[in-house]
Structure 1
């Protein structure tokens, strides 16, 4: 009789512990999901805000106001990175803001961070291609002669990724890089590809 009582008590205790554990873990999982969801919504809002600020900064003729907007965008991007450091978008926006502020070397470092694993996985192929093109442009602006080979690597990788959203721009830039290196046949091919995508472009020229 005593043995049965002990067994029944143990079963009740085990049932209670199991019920409590399931409830506790479920609550923790729900709380974690809610917190992650809130963080995602917050970062999305801040990324949108930062992008709008950058767009305004680029179109504002007054330099002091443009710089102020870019600094605010940079602050928003830093907040996003602090919340979601593995999301490439925050690092890309940070790079664009730094570039607008004239901090080109720091901007390149932010692009390098965005385009390395595990952050790279958060980008679609088109987004990755666009980021590679922009990084190539920055490399050429900082030091064309020293960074030309690295820029070509970025642009060729962008071509392999289906070129993103502005294919004509990509091929024009690649053609200019090939031309700078004296690779005339490759330059001719790249400019022709730009013409195929955007025949009316005044800057996409047929080079022979």
Structure 2
């Protein structure tokens, strides 16, 4: 039978060994998790880059069938990226742009909604978020101009507050104001577009409509 002193020594030894085991294994687990996250990020980035190249080719081609085929491949690569990092805003935007080429605007809108909702949106720069807002507004107006004009208007007001060098944003903003009968605001938006891009025909045509 162990003496009380021996029992205390054995308990102390076991406690020391347990603490050593915890201290030794925690860094290994943390490193393993970090390595796993790094691998997922690297693989996701690879799929995103391939998808971006496919999207660029889809936009460049004049052949409808080829554009659709390339856009479908871009969507597939975006989905692979999202399977690794589900909240990757860039991959969600890539997916939306490719779906738009395919004419799947409702699905494209859902993808943009996800990209522009926290926490995904936090990873976007001002320029990226502004461009995404403009694209969402454009899709909203194309799906249902009258019903979605207010939502599109909110997106565009935020977009031009983030970046003021996007003529398309000001043109769409002008069109939204025009739809709502806000002539002064529409005129100001079209004029802002011309300041950014003096040869902007869409803005000039908008101003001509307002004068007629």
Structure 2 unaligned spans of 5+: none
Farther-moved stretch of structure 1 (97-106 vs 121-130): 121-130
User: What is the match of residue 124 of structure 2?
Assistant: 123
SS at match of 1:116: coil
Tell me if 1:176 matches 2:175: yes
Q: Secondary structure at the match of 2:184?
A: helix
Cα-Cα RMSD? 1.9
Cα deviation for residue 200 of structure 1 reads 4.4
Aligned to 2:100: 99
Give the C-alpha shift of residue 177 in structure 1: 2.0
Mean Cα displacement is larger for which, 26-35 or 10-19? 10-19
Aligned to 1:30: 31
Return the offset for 1:202.
4.3
Shift of 1:113: 1.9
Judge which range, 175-184 or 43-52, deviates more.
175-184
Q: Matched residues in 2 for 1:172 and 1:139: separation?
A: 15
Aligned residues: 206
Note the alpha carbon deviations across 1:121-177, whole angstroms, 9 max, x for none.
Answer: 2222221111110011111122222222221111012122235xx522211221122
Matches within 5 A, 1:4-19: 4-19=5-20
Distance 2:91 2:163 in 1: 23
Aligned equivalents of 1:142, 1:41: Cα separation in 2: 36
Residue segments in structure 1 that go unaligned for 5+ positions in a row: none
Q: Which residue of 2 aligns with 1:71?
A: 72
Deviation at 1:199, TM superposition (A): 3.1
What is the match of residue 63 of structure 2?
Answer: 62
State the secondary structure of the residue aligned to 1:117: coil
CA distance in 1 between counterparts of 2:129 and 2:163 reads 10
